[in-house]
Structure 1
């Protein structure tokens, strides 16, 4: 590899596209997920036989309740809020098939806790727990323009599948809900289930464009299509109120995420980025029905990032900070509203911020690869 030029170009790409490995900002409405094509920025320069391995860790704590875009601040003040602590690890490997075509596999694991009053008789706060393998993703990506001839900008398109490998009926002990207030084993809430129970299709894109010396525009996003309507796992929400009978079974919802911003090279080793991130679960899916219980929601976040690269090792940190949170009316909310004549809009708990830390390492097939002889953006 040509020393300064290719290394710094590689590093710039790491900042621009670490979005593909960084996951949702954090809310009860939004479960852990990332693109099926687990490609960090180096994929732009992967040659045939090159391998990239890595891991991404995410953490968030959701506790602020919203109906629509209005926060229910009294929930925290009265200590009735639901608190989710979510830890997720993505382990991925990407293989360069050609200079433009690459394939990736992602093995995700989660550890989640959920503390609440309403799930345990409303008078006593208790915690439920889930952990294990989540839904495995496989995918391919392709750079539309030849990287050798387009060093200052490119567009990649990706297609992937999500396999229902995660447990979507994980259970734990719920207190004060059985006969005469006894404990009872029940499925944990949808927000902390490791899997969703459906085969999914993911469409994604990523692009970058040099706009000034040391400044690049970046954008990326994915949409997860989940054709399966419900997965058969009970929510037991109908035990809280008879009007929630239509929310008795968990849905298998779609999910989306997008990102847009600027990256800037601080030095040959460090680069930073700042942008906006918008992600969530839609009210209705693109394919399949919309029955069952889901918490639709979306988050608009300010998304600062910092990255480091030395040789083939890359480390990146992003901390998206929520600016706007929205829990819109769901299909079942509207059904209940029409049946009762009373306004109905469920709530969801969101995080203030999330922590995303990624590490990647590139294993070149050859000691040297041919790269464009372009001026270093650093």
Structure 2
């Protein structure tokens, strides 16, 4: 590929305007970046690869790099938290740039010296890259999203011309602005998903942020609690205890999400999850079936975790789960400036009362009569119990032993 005149100013303005318009109207980052790169290449810039490396606000990842390469399209490379992720970052071009307190560097990949020993540079050189430009742009202070590393690479013999380097430098501000917008959109959605759950987060993002914006819904309710947690918390290192608690929440919570439920809130050593019911009048509902499947799998996963912990000499944390069905109010509760998006109502209170029966009955899974009538599973009656604050005794059910050979439904 011979060196030609740099991309024209009119083409640059057109491409930049399209980039801004697309990023204003959409959060589809990969598609937006790919269109931008294809447009630059079509206009004459000898672009072989472009990447954006940004820190993210995410419970699993510290950062992400999205890269476009001519003929291959987009690829995403997340970096995890912890020592492994820290090492990955330090051995990256952006990590090198930050360690050396620079905002720009150029490395000629087709020359034998002058490049630091970084895995990405070596991989690009072996793939035919000849020139690599890296710019850093800072975002507004005050968050973990500190800025973006923007790299441009070419495989043309001789690398980028001086005029092309100037074009690339001129593109950095608009790319940084678009990246900041896309990163902020991602961070907002990720934080809402993390702290509220995907369905509830979407409602808040759609504007449900005022007190009184609540909805009455029918739902299967799953209430989980870790038995003996208080005693463990009293005698063991608190930081270790929190780590153990997270392990058990992973074991119990993953099936809930997989079977269509959403954890509404954590309650110290337990959590409340809801499975919205689409057809309240149906006696056998998919939400109840999903909640029961989630409860069974959660208890099995927790038992496996307990076995592993015992092998390591760690205290066990057994779980109790209650399944109930009823109407709940889902929405904002709190002060005018500090809200909790949660579920409340009589059914939630009843589930809490039923959970207190688990220990005395020596059963890790109890089902209310309202739930039992809808789940279609083989069950056995445990008894009728007076629940505090509930006017009449409630019939409580448990799972029938498999050896009983019950075919389904309540006995």
Bigger share in helix: 2
Bigger share in strand: 1
State TM-score, norm by structure 2. 0.22
Say which structure, 1 or 2, has more relative contact order (CA 8 Å, 6+ apart). 1
Q: Which has the greater radius of gyration?
A: 2
State TM-score, norm by structure 1. 0.24
